Structure 1
Amino acid sequence: PADKDAVAKNDSDIVRQIKDATLKSRDLLEKGTRAYTSYIRAYKEHQCGFIFRIKSLDLGKLATSFCLLKLPKMPELANVHTKLDFKPEENVEFYKIPYEDKVREQARQKRMKDEGKQEKLQKQREEKKQRREEKKARRDERFNPKQKKKRVGRHQRILEEWDDLAKEERLHKKLKRGKITQEEYDRQMFGDSVKKGGGDVDINDMDSV
């Protein structure tokens, strides 16, 4: 047991040393990731699937054995990455890990800068397009005659209906209090006459028509 503990500690120390080196080298970071993904896909795509069974792999411990700082994005890990026995490195800004080769690192930095500019330009274009569409929508709403006429017409009808109801209520109260006669009430409500056919018929003669 003591020997096993010593071996486990030694393995852990080696993994830590490699991880520390990987934190300073993008080459090691990429090579470790490629090795891990290739290993898994070799199992998955092997013709002797009954021997090389991907389900028998402990993908979390496998990632630790490859000294990975984090799990790569791949379909095989899509639904299981949160259940794996793997602890990623915390508080690591992976984009800052450089290549050891200065020329390659300069090219990467330039590429990142160009991509950042492209993303910024794309965002500005999208925001400009959105503002243009919103402005057009406001202009159409303001100057579209049909919409304006429809909106104003409906509002006007509501006002007229309220006015008619208020007028009818006022006249009904006056009639009830005896301030106006039934004839005056009918005249103010319906006018002096109503049309029937081609001629005018007085409102008071309608019962005899």
Structure 2
Amino acid sequence: MKYKRNKIFMEFRKLQSGILVCTDVMARGIDIPEVNWVLQYDPPSNASAFVHRCGRTARIGHGGSALVFLLPMEEAYINFLAINQKCPLQEMSLQRNTVDLLPKLRAMALADRAVFEKGMKAFVSFVQAYAKHECSLIFRLKDLDFAGLARGFALLRMPRMPELKGKQFPDFVPVDIDTDTIPFKDKIREKQRQKLLEQKRKERTENEGRRKFIKNKAWSKQKAKKERKKKMNAKRKKDEGSDIDDEDMEELLNDTRLLKKFKKGKITEEEFEKGLLTSTKRTVRLTESGVSDSEEDS
């Protein structure tokens, strides 16, 4: 990486004119003469880095200018730099005859997944850096216009990230296509992507089948458990009521036998009534003593 960076740096120095896109790594210790402009797309997270950025121009007696872009809600940063870094700023008037390049950038993102993904990553990086800015009283994430920012990055849809969770963006209109269908122009990268997509589809299908099997298995076990519980409750109720049922049944059978004998004339009415009374007393006596009919007979 260091060799590649040095190579780019040397090639840039040999150019008659050009634009070098770089990070704060270039803000210190790098001397390129005759740099006319330093454009800061967003303020650095550290105020001292602002001065070092500006210091890349107007070196060794040469003239130069530095420009920083600020949103209306960030204008307090101007006074902050004047006090904290002794660095006064002057407002630059906007040019009205600018060309709107955003439609072209969105078309590029639709045509090449590499452009689409770079835009998404840049948006996420910007938002996360904004949330961690040193001057959090000035650069407040809650005041950021996410919809406008997404349009500025030529996004086709909003990325999924914690900072956007639960938020709605009526001012941002995503493209009406499945962004997973956007291919890489690089055929090798696209082939690898399709391979990964197919692998994910298989894993998703397998996981869905596994979840369904587990769900059905759990349902079957739960059903069997309910059936066992139902049978146990029925058996318990039967066991609890078995003694009473047997006594009632024995008394009923005795009464039935006596009634049949009385109807056939084998016993008199007096004997019938006496038999009923004897049967009732016998049942009560056996119940109180806890002796069964079989025990008494023996």
SS in structure 1 at match of 2:111: coil
* Residue type of the alignment partner of 2:200: E
Q: Is the 8 A contact 1:59 1:84 kept in 2?
A: no
Q: Flag structure 2 segments of 5+ consecutive residues without an equivalent.
A: 1-94, 256-268, 292-298
Q: Is 2:190 aligned against 1:100?
A: no
Aligned sequence identity (%): 27
| Cα displacement (A) at 1:58 | 1.4
Q: How far apart are the structure 2 equivalents of 1:193 and 1:40? A: 90
TM-score by length of 1: 0.64
What whole-Å deviation, never above 9, does each CA across 1:67-103 have from its counterpart, x for those lacking one? Answer: 11111111221133x145212122x111111111111
| Cα displacement (A) at 1:43 | 1.6
What whole-Å deviation, never above 9, does each CA across 1:122-175 have from its counterpart, x for those lacking one? Answer: 222222233333334444555x4x7524324436859x88xx7xxx9xx9xxxx
Q: How far apart are the structure 1 equivalents of 2:221 and 2:137? A: 63
Q: How far apart are the structure 2 equivalents of 1:101 and 1:194? A: 99
Which structure has more relative contact order (CA 8 Å, sep 6+)? It is: 1
Counterpart residue number, 2:118: 31
Counterpart residue number, 2:82: none
SS in structure 1 at match of 2:137: coil
Structure 1 residues 182 and 138, CA gap change in structure 2 (3 angstroms) = same
Q: Which runs of 4+ in 1 moved over 6 A?
A: 180-185
Of 214, 234, 238, which residue of structure 2 is paired with 1:129?
214
Of 66, 69, 84, which residue of structure 1 is paired with 2:153?
66
TM-score by length of 2: 0.47
What whole-Å deviation, never above 9, does each CA across 1:36-71 have from its counterpart, x for those lacking one? Answer: 111122221121223433344211111111111111
Which structure shows the bigger proportion of residues in helix conformation? Answer: 1
Of 79, 86, 94, which residue of structure 1 is paired with 2:172?
86
Of 114, 124, 128, which residue of structure 2 is paired with 1:41?
128
**CA radius of gyration, larger in:** 2
- Matching of residues 52-201 of structure 1 within 5 Å: 52-80=139-167, 82-83=168-169, 85-90=171-176, 92-140=177-225, 144=228, 148-154=231-237, 157=241, 190=280, 192-195=282-285
